Amino acid sequence: MQKTIYIYIYILILLCTIIGNIIFLPTLYEEYESYNFQINKWKLNQIKNSERVCYTRTGTKYHRCYHYSGRNYETSTFEAVTERNLDPCSVCNPEYPNFDSMPTKKHPYFPNPYKFAFASFLIIIISRYSLQINKKTN
């Protein structure tokens, strides 16, 4: 009798997980991919429209290219700030990227649908494993 209850609980968890994935994953996936597309489009636009600046291999600042031309690496101000964590030079005073136009998420917490699907199937595996342990102990 107790074994059949565990089997019914396992089947219930399995069905809830599958139905939850069928209902929620397509919506999560669409919103997730749409937001990633908007962010990537915004980043490319920022890189294309931002001022070209120079930085040294060992420095912590980025400069207008005329300030240190020929001896440095060239990049956009957006990449200098976001990817290289550089600060603007206080002498040549290059522009700082505008982050006000960055797309915002619809929800404060926006789950990755791939992680959500993995977690739900992990629940199935754990419940199946616990069912096997209960069979061995009984």
Query: What's the pLDDT tens digit per position in 75-120?
Result: 888 888 888 889 988 888 888 888 888 887 766 566 666 666 677 6
pTM of the predicted model over 0.85: no
| pLDDT higher than threshold 60 for residue 1 | no
Q: Tokens in use for 35? A: 């937001």
Each domain of the chain, given as residue ranges in start order, spans 1-49+112-138, 51-96
Give the per-residue pLDDT at 51: 85
| pLDDT higher than threshold 80 for residue 67 | no
Give the per-residue pLDDT at 89: 87
Q: Nearest CA to 17 among 135, 120, 112? A: 120
Order the strands of the 73-76 sheet from edge to edge: 73-76, 52-55, 61-64, 87-88
**CA distances (Å), 125 to each of 15, 23, 111, 120, 128, in order?**
13, 20, 21, 9, 5
- In the chain, the percentage of residues whose pLDDT exceeds 90 is 1
